[in-house]
């Protein structure tokens, strides 16, 4: 856990030294799909990131978050089993490119740390589309994928991202 804290400190500390940027906080809800859809019913995610303005249209930085998927009840062999909730802490590099006024495409790429008793960590990727409804508020639609040993943990999500000055 010390290494995680150090990584976050270095990630956010080093980005603030170079250029003008902005902290971003996001909240989203999602539907697990694929293997995840067989085991979970709904997911929520919270993200905190820092993006640096490289050009008028390109921002890069880092993000850290928390993703919580609510376990489902499944039936097997005539019996019902409750699946435990699944949680991950993604740590990723972020990039956003403004393709039109108020419309941005981007991606987060990094590693998601599994927390709890049964989760493994894995490669994390999240392509996204964002629409700016004001100077500091975006509506975000994203795919959140985590590659784990047992397969993938994929979620389609929608939410809001707010710029924090």
Backbone angles phi, psi at 63, to 5 degrees: -145, 150
- With DSSP H G I counted as helix, E B as strand and the rest as coil, what are the percentages for the chain, rounded to 5? 10, 70, 20
Q: Supply the DSSP string of 99-146, one letter for each residue.
A: EETTEEEEEEEEEEEEESSS---EEEEEEEEEEESSSSEEEEEEEEEE
The values of phi and psi at residue 15, to 5°, are -70, -30
Closest of 50, 146, 129 to residue 89, by C-alpha? 146
How does strand 151-164 pair with strand 137-148? antiparallel
* Tens of each residue's pLDDT in the chain, 165 residues: 445 554 545 555 554 455 578 999 999 999 999 988 988 999 999 999 999 999 999 999 999 999 999 999 888 888 888 989 999 999 999 999 999 999 999 999 999 999 986 667 899 999 999 999 998 999 999 999 999 877 889 999 999 999 997
Closest by CA to 66, choosing from 132, 116, 136, is 116
Domain CATH code at residue 77: 2.40.160.20
Domain of residue 38: give its range: 2-164
- SS3 at position 15: helix
Report the number of distinct structural domains present in the chain: 1
Phi and psi, residue 109, nearest 5°: -140, 130
């Amino acid at each position: 856990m010390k290494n995680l804290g150090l990584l976050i400190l270095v990630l956010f500390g080093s980005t603030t030294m170079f250029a003008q940027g902005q902290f971003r906080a996001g909240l989203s809800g999602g539907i697990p799909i694929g293997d995840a859809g067989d085991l979970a019913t709904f997911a929520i995610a919270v993200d905190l990131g820092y993006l640096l303005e490289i050009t008028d249209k390109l921002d890069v930085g880092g993000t850290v978050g928390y993703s919580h998927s609510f376990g489902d009840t499944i039936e097997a062999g005539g019996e019902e089993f409750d699946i435990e909730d699944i949680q991950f802490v993604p740590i990723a590099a972020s990039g956003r490119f403004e393709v039109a006024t108020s419309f941005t495409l981007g991606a987060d790429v990094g590693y998601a740390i599994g927390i709890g008793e049964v989760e493994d960590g894995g490669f994390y990727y999240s392509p996204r589309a964002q629409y700016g409804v004001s100077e500091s508020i975006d509506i975000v639609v994203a795919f959140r994928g985590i590659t784990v040993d047992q397969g993938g943990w994929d979620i389609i999500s929608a939410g809001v991202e707010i710029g924090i000055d």
